[in-house]
Structure 1
Amino acid sequence: MPTILTADGTDIFFKDWGPKDAQPIMFHHGWPLSSDDWDAQMLFFVGQGFRVIAHDRRGHGRSAQVSDGHDMDHYAADAAAVVEALDLRNVVHIGHSTGGGEVARYVAQYGQPAGRVAKAVLVSAVTPLMLKTDANPEGTPMEVFDGFRNGLAANRAQFFRDVPAGPFYGFNREGAAVQEGVIQNWWRQGMTGSAKAHYDGIKAFSETDQTEDLRAITVPTLVLHGEDDQVVPIDAAARKAITLLRNGTLKTYPGFSHGMLTVNADVLNKDLLDFVKA
């Protein structure tokens, strides 16, 4: 399998499809998934003539199940290691959920300073901060994230079945067209990764304040969010993130879920393509 070795000795698995001289688009997946969650986008964009790259975050998918480093700083550093190993330039970085946080930190701390980034896209992203605090009253209470940790520790297999069957894709909504294959694929991706990486990752995606990352980003940034996102509430995320970005555009989707990249790929792919080509 194609991997790169990070500075701290972690093997990171990646996919690299399409012409090596084409503009690269790099995809950053959400918790607790893998680069496979981008299948619909990678096939679409490679068909449009782009070079597409996606990696499995440390402890996720086919990357090494290391004990430590499951935090936003390491996630961004690992992404930078992939970019540098492949010598990617003029890259569009697209991140979903936790991957959106990874994109924000990578672009702010590595990509822009190195002159490697063309644009960024934050899809259903956890930025700027998910946790409810006195300064962030729209956030999600700590008790919810403690529930994630308890569910994962008690019975990860069942928890990873309940999340996609329920709020992630909005399959718990009345009249929803439930797609069993989508549920099973989410479960498959999650169970491939490390329980410790997933457990530690809850703190990373919920408690990392990325206000300053967003303020530092100057490249054109598209923020996409479903208005019926039951996982990352739109008011605490996209609508707040857009006020911090210097060069941001917000687009929201009535009725769309957190997993809209999969179940509404036809709509999202077109909007992503329009932004990449603009």
Structure 2
Amino acid sequence: MTSVTTKDGVQIFYKDWGPKSAQPIVFHHGWPLSSDDWETQMLFFTGKGYRVIAHDRRGHGRSSQVSDGHDMDHYAADAAAVVEHLDLRNAIHVGHSTGGGEATRYVARHGSGRVAKLVLIGAVPPLMLKTEANPGGLPIEVFDGLRQQLAANRTQFYLDFASGPFYGYNRPDAKPSPAVVWNWWRQGMMGSAKAHYDGIKAFSETDFSEDLKSIVVPTLVMHGGDDQIVPVADSAPLSAKLLKNSTLKIHEKLPHGLCTTHADLVNTELLTFIAT
């Protein structure tokens, strides 16, 4: 198995496809999934001649199911360990959902001299939680509810999450794909319940405002207008404003899981942004 060991002894699994001399694209997956969630994008960009890399976050997929370190600082440092191990330079980093937070913190704190561009898709920055400074955020009860459901019956919770709001399959005109639902469930159940439980705090309570302000590379901020997981009004437009060099694209009626449900559109827009 291809992996790198971090400074605190965690094995991080990663995939590395395509020519080693090609420009690298690094994909950061969402909660509670794995690098498998990027297969459509990785195959597409490998076919376009790029080198594509994706890792499983600690406690997720095939990486070590450790008890600690399930926070954005460790997530970003783990991504940096993969990047440094492979000596990736001039890289494009693409993050979805929680992976968007991870990619943001990585670029802000570890990416100097190594990053060409950043892409945030349905991403959690700047801050999901409702606070006095962030009145449009979601109340803590929402995230407490996720924790309660995970602890009570993770298998059923994950099935309901994928069958409903993640892909917008709970909308009246939706056409659910059982295969997509079960693939989401499979990825989630590969990981550690402890990592996923702790990860809810990481993706909901981390404030990325200062990270966003410090990023100077061109950044594409893409979001679904019908995102039921990371509501668009308090995420993408606010991130775009904080970034120094951003392009904002909101696709009306698209769900949180748009990289799967609308892969052709996402891949085309990514290619346009990356290649120009």
Establish whether TM, by shorter chain, passes 0.5: yes
Partner of 2:107: 107
- The 1-side partners of 2:4 and 2:21 are apart by 20
Secondary structure at 1:59 match in 2: coil
Q: Does 1:54 align with 2:54?
A: yes
Secondary structure at 1:70 match in 2: coil
Match 1:208 to one of 193, 206, 209? 206
- The 2-side partners of 1:213 and 1:123 are apart by 16
Show the 5 A alignment for 1:1-278.
1-112=1-112, 115-278=113-276
- The 1-side partners of 2:151 and 2:48 are apart by 42
Per the TM alignment, residue 214 of structure 1 is displaced from its structure 2 partner at its CA by: 0.2
- The 2-side partners of 1:175 and 1:243 are apart by 33
- The 2-side partners of 1:55 and 1:186 are apart by 16
The letter of the residue matching 2:81 is: A
- The 1-side partners of 2:157 and 2:250 are apart by 28
Secondary structure at 1:235 match in 2: helix
- The 2-side partners of 1:189 and 1:134 are apart by 36
Per the TM alignment, residue 175 of structure 1 is displaced from its structure 2 partner at its CA by: 1.4
In the TM superposition, structure 1's runs of 4+ consecutive aligned residues that sit over 4 Å from their partners are none
Per the TM alignment, residue 212 of structure 1 is displaced from its structure 2 partner at its CA by: 0.2
- The 1-side partners of 2:40 and 2:84 are apart by 25
Per the TM alignment, residue 137 of structure 1 is displaced from its structure 2 partner at its CA by: 1.1
- The 1-side partners of 2:164 and 2:131 are apart by 26
- The 2-side partners of 1:221 and 1:242 are apart by 8
Secondary structure at 1:36 match in 2: helix
RMSD: 0.4
TM-score, scaled to structure 2? 1.00
Per the TM alignment, residue 43 of structure 1 is displaced from its structure 2 partner at its CA by: 0.4
Q: Which runs of 5+ in 1 are unaligned?
A: none
Percent identity of the aligned residues?
A: 67
Deviations 1:127-158 (A, max 9, x none): 00000111111111100100000000000000
- The 2-side partners of 1:263 and 1:57 are apart by 23
Per the TM alignment, residue 191 of structure 1 is displaced from its structure 2 partner at its CA by: 0.2
Deviations 1:67-117 (A, max 9, x none): 0000000000000000000000000000000000001000000002xx000
Secondary structure at 1:172 match in 2: coil
Per the TM alignment, residue 22 of structure 1 is displaced from its structure 2 partner at its CA by: 0.2
Deviations 1:50-78 (A, max 9, x none): 00000000000000000000000000000
- The 2-side partners of 1:199 and 1:158 are apart by 15
Aligned pair count?
276
- The 1-side partners of 2:265 and 2:247 are apart by 17
Per the TM alignment, residue 239 of structure 1 is displaced from its structure 2 partner at its CA by: 1.1
Q: Which runs of 5+ in 2 are unaligned?
A: none
Deviations 1:197-256 (A, max 9, x none): 000000000000000000000000000000000000001100111110000110010110
Secondary structure at 2:164 match in 1: helix
Deviations 1:13-64 (A, max 9, x none): 0000000000000000000000000011000000000000000000000000
